[in-house]
Amino acid sequence: MGDRADRLSSRRKDRQREEKPEQPAEQEQQEDPQSAKDLYQGTYMYLPEDLRQEFDLVASEMDTQRQRRNGKQVEKIRHFEPLVVSLGLEAIENMDDDELEERLAEFDP
């Protein structure tokens, strides 16, 4: 994992520790985990239709594969969206100027 991803992960864990009130272990086990909407800040994106369809399809396929493999779900808001953004940021950081311009041109009319 890149340095940026490590820093983001560390900051995320620090924030979770700061925001999470201390609870007795027994009480903590009885409560449901907070929803992703409670934990994360809402961010809205406008995507080209074909990209949005691919996004939804990959999220669904990833969820199905993970459920078959280990019975765990991939929640779109809690897991998939942060993963896509995190990996996207890493990829962008590793692009040179020409690669970046080429990719940005894909979204110009």
Q: What is the pLDDT of residues 37-74, one digit of tens each?
A: 888 999 899 999 999 999 999 999 999 999 999 999 99
CA gap 30, 94 in Å, rounded: 43
Considering the entire predicted model, what is its pTM? 0.66
| Strand, coil or helix: 99 | helix
Token readout for 66 is: 């993970």
Asked whether the predicted pLDDT for residue 24 surpasses 60, the reply is: no
Q: Of residues 90 and 6, which shows the higher confidence score? A: 90
The residue extents of the domains of the chain are 3-105
Task: Give residue for tokens 């080209």.
Answer: 48
CA gap 30, 43 in Å, rounded: 30
| Beta carbons of 59 and 76 less than 8 angstroms apart | yes
Average per-residue pLDDT in the chain? 85
